A and B are shown apart, each in its own frame.
Chain A
Amino acid sequence: MNANAAVVARTPQEFKSDLKPVWCPGCGDYSVLAAITKAFAKLELLPQNVAVISGIGCSSRIPAYTSCYGFHGVHGRALALGTGVKLARPDLTVLVAGGDGDGYSIGGNHFLHACRRNVDMTYIVMDNRVYGMTKGQASPTTEPDWEFSKLTPEGTGLREFHPLVIALASGANFIARAFSGDPNGTADIIAQAIGTPGFSFVEVLSPCVTFRPEQRHWKDKARPAPVKTTSDPSQAARRILTDDGFNVGVLYVGNRKPYQPSIGRGTKKPADLEAGFVL
């Protein structure tokens, strides 16, 4: 992974900052933070060579809780921000993280195109099927009959967005589902995601105990997927579309070549470009 890896073994603690998270006690995002730092340590990365990029939301607060370089951008644009970082600095490990509102609603278009573009970075969505930060509105993954938002007191009546199958159809090279209640398993999945070239998408079921307290029961539902990872997109699509949404594991890994224009390898000086203007 890096030159010093053999010399210094990393600990998850080294990837944590001393900033205290603003999250509610019991929020799933604590465990996602733990899983991310575990994955970084497992991969023996150096904090200064990692950039953690996010948008806005409870989950999007995560960069500052790591000891890596971070960018807490605007709502919905984390993938574009992260894409810029990675394309300009292919030497960095780029991890983009955020919520389901950030990624699937306001940032939906970037999600499609990040999957398509297949830049070598990892995208973690902490899906709690609600807008936590703005105090409990329905998100694209909220069940149609969830009646607890003042904006949609009779439920949205809208069918849920299916991020995994959309990622698959859009060209993501690595697709996984994880559950925050299992930080070790999640860390393994994230480590695999980072290690796989191209765009890796990890949807983490991460309960919002404040606005969706019933999600505490996810721990009874989430279980390892009963099948092995496939590289066959049609098989992956069938499985993803037919499971109950709680199968956890790496569901699909493809072999698309990542998109990375060469940068820093020009042969000409700026003044050489003048030849094209001279009469």
Chain B
Amino acid sequence: MIVEPCSLTIAEARELLDRRELSAVELTRSCLDRIAAHDGRLNAFITVCREAALAQAAEADARMVGGAGGPLCGIPLALKDIFLTRGVRTTCASRILDGFVPPFDATVVAKLRAAGAVFLSKANLDEFAMGSSTENSAFGPTRNPYDLDRVAGGSSGGSAAAVAANQCLGALGTDTGGSIREPASFCGVVGIKPTYSRVSRYGVIAYASSLDQVGPFARTVRDCAVLLQAIAGVDPRDATCAARPVPDYAGALTGEIKGLRIGVPREYFIEGMAPAVDGAVRAALRQFEALGGRLEEVSLPHTEYAVATYYVLATAEASANLARYDGIRYGLRVAADNNIELYERTRGAGFGAEVKRRIMLGTFALSAGYYDAYYLKAQKVRTLIRRDFARAFERCDVIATPVAPTTAFAIGEKIADPLQMYLSDIFTISVNLAGLPGISVPCGYDDRGLPIGLQLIGAPFAEETILRAADAYERSGATVRRPPII
């Protein structure tokens, strides 16, 4: 059987490209063909940049002939449509950015561009990254490649679905409360959310500034490590970006985890979790033991407050971050007779229901007389959650949990019930509140054949540890990956 180039891993494609058995243009064309064939049903992308991608691929081929190509030269990627791309419209899946074409690249995009990566497309997402299913998009929901009637997860659902459906070799997403890990879990791919401040946020449209973090999706842990290597590191344009050096992530993938202490938090195995998820995660834990890891029961006692804390802090920050969409300088403007009316009409027409709900929640939480009871209290709980993890990491090296309590749910199933939807992130949100790195790696399938993800959480800047553990698990073959139905 001839393998379509678009279904290669980055590592496999790299070898073929370096041996001149495959050109970047061929590889890119294969992805574009795949997109043309399937994205009408999948809706992973808001914008496909066919001509630009082929031109970038040709450039990459020329570079490789000159022997100048690095690990990502000529590799076709998708970008969540939250990253500013110079000259290519950037929507954030919102009508309010109608017609907005950025004059500059986000730092991570500029880094990948300089590395010779090929940008195929801008991937679908929940509007302003607010959601857990990619149903809150002005461009329609993204469907799950394993079941087209189900969600891809969110908010980076387009990126996850595209990687799963072999429309690209890797993708970038963002994760504020689980927006990389949950869709990675639902779509059966690998996704990592690095430590807060590990990757620059400059040129990434802000949802909740103290929680947002950029990370990659790929079909293997190793590919994720290579992508993370390319985007991590200090940025003079982001004052919150860490100055510490970036380690060799791929080099950390030794396959060796003997003696690794794996913390299992009792608060993460709850009533109401899908039995298939519970079973798959427990099986994965046994596999870690078989690989020489040691399980340690740990406690994260403030877990039950994480969702409430998150929805106060994230929405508070969002209410300010989204104030700039006022119809004055760019994007949508609905004509009106005066300023106030201009704001009301523009924002009324431009934002979707979930975005409006979160702006109102955040505005309320910051209002005079409520600030102490909501915002300040939530900050205090955030500190407690951070301490929970610090204490747990005294007893273990990684913490293993499910990514989400269920597998992908049906499109429309939770959209009318925001609280149910918010609970999809119950296992991922604490990690953002604590600023920690977390990875989702496939660990099984339910009886419908829907993927299940295992979450490995690390101490601050311990990306190497969680990548090494995830890679060792992946390579052990405990989970045999199944192809998507499309």
* A and B are partners in one complex rather than unrelated chains: no
Chain B interface (Cβ < 8 Å from any Cβ of A): none
Chain A interface (Cβ < 8 Å from any Cβ of B): none
